[in-house]
Structure 1
Amino acid sequence: MKYILLGSLGHITKPLAQQLIAKGHQVTIVSSQAAKAAEITSLGATPAIGSVEDIDFLSATFKGADAAYLMIPPKLDANPWKEWIGGVGRKYAQAVKASGMKKLVFLSSIGADKPDGVGPVSGIHLAEEALKTLSGVDVLFLRPAYFYFNLFAVIGLIKQAGIYGNNFGPDRKIVMVHPRDIAAVAAEELLHLSFKGVSVRYIAGDERNSRDIAAVLGAAIGKPELPYVPFSDEDTEKGMIAAGLPEEVAKNYTEMGVAARTGIMFEDYQKHRPALSPTQLEDFAKEFAAVYNS
């Protein structure tokens, strides 16, 4: 089988590629960085260097493939961000149609059932809608939970202020997952290619409120009394801007926090809860501690 994987050598695409290659399949990895070509080749994959916004490049790359794993890379200078994400999704749809490819696994997100109010995930919703328009193409939307790796962003806050904080609220359970568990699911689906029409699969590893997260991370780094401090939405946005994020990004991440706090981010997930994947918060906390102490 011939697979096309977007996402360069990221935390999902690299292990996904390794699993497909180990099964003897032909894998092409798309990257925007020519410097990644040698490492892609060393994995046993073929590099395709180009932009996800280049429909002609994507169409040529997709042509002749049995299936693809699609994702939308971060672009923190995009403005308006949601519309940029949705626009990339429309370009993917055009390229898939031009190439004649018939099987897609798309990295979506928990909350992508919502057309608005969930920050950048509202852009992912637009991308889903674009891919749904494809005729005769089987599309599986993977909707993983909040990545554990996002928690690395609070290391500076813990070291500087001695707290763990966000605008998620203290009691709302946040659904989380490890990228390697997403890669395992993506590999499973691509190897079997049994999905038909348009379908959705949620991926989650743990469900914990912010107090629990603070306690588990604190214990792992030798700070068992690490407190959770809820931030107002205004302070959350201002804090991200002060940390160097563009206002558009800060606004959208703040909105995503509100969606988590109110629960709207998780409404459809709660109706279709999957069996939890192997990596629990305590498992990730060991990785967190290693980065914290490095």
Structure 2
Amino acid sequence: MYVILGGTGNTGKHITETLLAAGKAVTIVSRDASKAEDLVAKGAKLAVGDLHDTDFLSKTFTGARAVYSLVPPKWDVEHWRTYQVQISTSIALALHSAKVPYVVNLSSMGAHLPEGAGPVSGLYYLEQMLNTIPGLNVLHLRPGYFYQNLYGVLDMIKHMGVIAQPLPAEFKFNFVHTSDIAAVAAQRLLALDFTGHSVQYIAGPKDYSFADAAAFISQAAGKDVPFVTSTVEQSVEGMIGAGIPAAIAEPYGEFYGSFSSARYLADFDRKTNVIEGQITLEQFVKNEFKYALEGELVA
């Protein structure tokens, strides 16, 4: 039996569908039963509960051969890092209590940094907690920047006509589609071919800049949507102005401040320990993002 945290999310849903198609028993953990109806119809078992609830997780994990773990984003917390540590601790305690033998953990590129990378540094602590559990074989997935994060600039495009980020226009980095991440996770969950503590980086087919993203979006929109380099302070103020709590916006400012640094990128090398996905950024914009630009729902 497999347990998938965030089973209705960007990666969890694809993983669940792949495991079910392979004939595996899957339990998905979700806070909202209504979002899981299609997966339950396909054969998944649903466990509704809060990841803060260690007893709930322990019972859900009991008997599992493997768990897919993550700390889901939550946009109304009073302190981002505290939330991350609380969820990480709850997951780790439950895994230890249930004696789960395998975990594939969704982390992030940059999670080798205990401080200085905002919410990504919070994932360092989940990795370290899982690494302390006796007898647990854990694979940490460290993907790059999700293509789907671009949905966060939709309002900016619609109301300001630009994409503004606190990064140099020429700075290219690892973008990746969440379905490519899910494909790697599902394959490793099915194989369970890892032992001890290991890390796997996941990248898109090539690196892109936000200027590249703006060019693809301009093509999809049929009008020029230029990229503008903002300051970290401007980006934080913009997030707060859009209704994101300062407790979340400020750590993201720290993240963007470190994102293009050698320190953040030090542990990532496309030539070693990197699995490259199939979906290009241009394909994502053409086949998915453009429909959000037109005001349509994105599946």
Would you say same fold, with TM above 0.5? Answer: yes
In the alignment, the residues of structure 2 paired with residue 168 and residue 246 of structure 1 have an alpha-carbon distance, to the nearest angstrom, of 22
> Percent identical across equivalent pairs?
39
Residue matched to 1:125: 124
Q: Tell me whether 1:155 sits opposite 2:154 in the alignment.
A: yes
Contact 2:111 2:121 in 1 (8 A): yes
Shift, 1:174, TM fit = 2.4
In the alignment, the residues of structure 1 paired with residue 250 and residue 264 of structure 2 have an alpha-carbon distance, to the nearest angstrom, of 16
Mapping of residues 278-289 of structure 1, within 5 Å? 278-286=278-286, 287-289=288-290
Whichever residue aligns with residue 76 of structure 1, its letter is W
SS at the partner of 1:195? coil
Contact 1:139 1:198 in 2 (8 A): yes
Residue deviations 1:237-270 (CA, integer Å, cap 9, x gap): 1111000000011101111111113243322113
Residue matched to 1:232: 231
In the alignment, the residues of structure 2 paired with residue 263 and residue 82 of structure 1 have an alpha-carbon distance, to the nearest angstrom, of 23
Residue matched to 1:291: 292
Mapping of residues 1-294 of structure 1, within 5 Å? 2-205=1-204, 206-223=206-223, 225-270=224-269, 272=272, 274-286=274-286, 287-293=288-294, 294=296
Shift, 1:185, TM fit = 0.4
Whichever residue aligns with residue 292 of structure 1, its letter is L
Contact 1:86 1:125 in 2 (8 A): no
Contact 1:82 1:124 in 2 (8 A): no
Contact 1:8 1:32 in 2 (8 A): no
Whichever residue aligns with residue 248 of structure 1, its letter is A
Shift, 1:107, TM fit = 0.5
Segments of 5+ residues of structure 2 without an aligned counterpart are: none
Whichever residue aligns with residue 149 of structure 1, its letter is Q
TM-score, normalization by structure 1: 0.95
In the alignment, the residues of structure 1 paired with residue 275 and residue 86 of structure 2 have an alpha-carbon distance, to the nearest angstrom, of 33
SS at the partner of 2:276? coil
Contact 1:173 1:207 in 2 (8 A): yes
Contact 1:6 1:70 in 2 (8 A): yes
Segments of 5+ residues of structure 1 without an aligned counterpart are: none
In the alignment, the residues of structure 1 paired with residue 36 and residue 226 of structure 2 have an alpha-carbon distance, to the nearest angstrom, of 44
Shift, 1:221, TM fit = 1.6
SS at the partner of 1:129? helix
Deviates more, 1:159-168 or 1:17-26: 159-168
